Structure 1
């Protein structure tokens, strides 16, 4: 099956989504990442999102920190035991294994990579490369190009890695062919914005007038504008997106929700 073959259609004129990313879970629900209990942070974010009348949640990658399958099972357990009722979609992060993400997909956790309505759509892109840095393969670039050429509605794109440098430590692990991907998206004429995780903080950038947003982590944040590895516990965070269209133009209202630890 090609990457975008599995799709979900919403019979709605608007969409309300949440983007949550970088949970860095362990097999042990008491596991800590830089002295932060990541399972507790993720559960707190899920509880808050459950009250937001969401149509869907997009998980932005780096589910696991210890790379155990039990950490994936914990992710599924935390979602299933929460009051969140909407579908949860995912993109892979550099820590993740796609095969394991597929194993926990089913029911509320959905493996679809194209979410769309009659008037808009969302593409979930695979930026996982052979190293911690990101890479979108030529085959996948072609898939993205073809899918965007086959639709005539405005779309958003989600991936894990930052396609542009953010003047921080994680730049050495950014999406190495980010400008190539961004040029493809801009040249398509129907991409209204890009959202990513990976950098563990909030950023907003532009590329040829294309808006690019980084969503903070649900786990721990990395200090902005620091080339050194520095982290801080600001509490879990996620991003809300309200999507509406008029005259084939997509309006995106988005804010980051910070939940103090």
Structure 2
């Protein structure tokens, strides 16, 4: 269970978490992704998060667009320059490299992949595959099964890729063994929901009785319901997750809303 070896314990049963994802940063602050300054967007999101009295932030992957170590340094710099005081945890997206994520992880940015209270577990999965599509390999799925079996708590699960189709362009890059993962989660009878990024918009779908939530990007959003790659100018967004004992609620917060 090496992936979940590092854990972070919260000495409280009520938590406020933020899920942010898909920042697509560049080596410099003026980098543009489809004509959007992604560093400025992330800075604005972090400024809003700093007002929320959060217990933690989960970054959901695709930190970088140009795959430079400087883009990871920029992410860490933007976090340190913000007024955010809670820890920031991460999981990898298809654009990310694990060694670069780990290199930037110090102080406020932490590497734990299991977050927990006395009443709930939160697991941060690795869905990065050999292609832009997602893949959870067998050893990782075995780690997930073991983590679920070892816990008596209700569980929230995060990953980067979407495990069910959204009827959009990015279905060509979805989690290819999504049904295998989802069946594991459902049959554990302890997972309340799976939350992911990657699709650059807000979705709420279901697989069997499991809720699946997609969080919009801090960078740009993509138009829903089209097989074409279309940007939608909605501004950045993030997801608030409120945990009370072994229950949770969630909502998406749009900065331009």
- For residues 210 and 15 of structure 1, what CA distance do their matches in structure 2 show? 22
Q: Is structure 2 residue 233 aligned with structure 1 residue 233?
A: yes
Distance 1:176 1:196 in 2: 14
1:134-173 → structure 2 map (5 Å cutoff): 134-173=134-173
Whole-Å separation in 2 of the counterparts to 1:174 and 1:13: 34
The equivalent of 2:12 in structure 1 is: 12
Q: Mapping of 1:234-249 within 5 angstroms?
A: 234-245=234-245
Determine whether 1:119 maps to 2:119: yes
| Distance (whole Å) between structure 2 residues aligned to residue 79 and residue 115 of structure 1 | 20
> Is the contact made by 1:123 and 1:158 (CA closer than 8 Å) also made in structure 2?
yes
In structure 1, C-alpha distance between the alignment counterparts of 2:204 and 2:232, rounded to whole Å: 20
C-alpha distance in structure 2 between counterparts of 1:56 and 1:229, whole Å? 32
Match of 1:98 in 2: 98
Give the drift of 1:13: 1.2
Give yes or no for contact 1:36–1:233 (8 Å, CA) kept in 2: no
Q: CA deviation at 1:106?
A: 1.1
Report the equivalent of 2:222: 222
1:42-69 superposed Cα distances (whole Å, 9 cap, x missing partner): 0000000000010000000000000000
2:83 alignment counterpart: 83
Q: Distance in 1 between matches of 2:77 and 2:95?
A: 19
The 2-side partners of 1:226 and 1:47 are apart by 32
The corresponding residue for 2:255 is 259
Partner in structure 1 of residue 181 of structure 2: 181
Quote the Cα distance in structure 2 between the aligned partners of 1:153 and 1:121: 6
Report the counterpart of residue 49 of structure 2 in structure 1: 49
Aligned equivalents of 2:110, 2:103: Cα separation in 1:
11
Calculate the TM-score normalised by the size of structure 2: 0.99
Q: Deviation above 6 Å: which 4+ runs of structure 1?
A: none
- Secondary structure class of the residue paired with 2:132: coil
1:96-149 Cα shifts (integer Å, max 9, x gaps): 000000000011000000000011010000000000000000000000000100
Q: Which runs of 5+ in 1 are unaligned?
A: none
- 1:233 deviation in Å? 2.2
Separation in structure 2 between the aligned mates of residue 241 and residue 70 of structure 1, nearest angstrom = 30
TM-score in terms of structure 1 length: 0.97
Indicate whether 1:22 and 2:22 are aligned.
yes
Partner SS state of residue 43, structure 1? helix
Distance in 1 between residues matched to 2:161 and 2:207, nearest whole Å: 15
CA distance in 1, matches of 2:120, 2:209: 19
1:223 to partner: Cα distance: 0.2
**Using the alignment, how far apart are the partners of 1:138 and 1:64 within structure 2?**
27
Aligned length: 257
Which residue of structure 1 lines up, in the alignment, with residue 211 of structure 2? 211
Are positions 1:65 and 2:61 aligned together? no
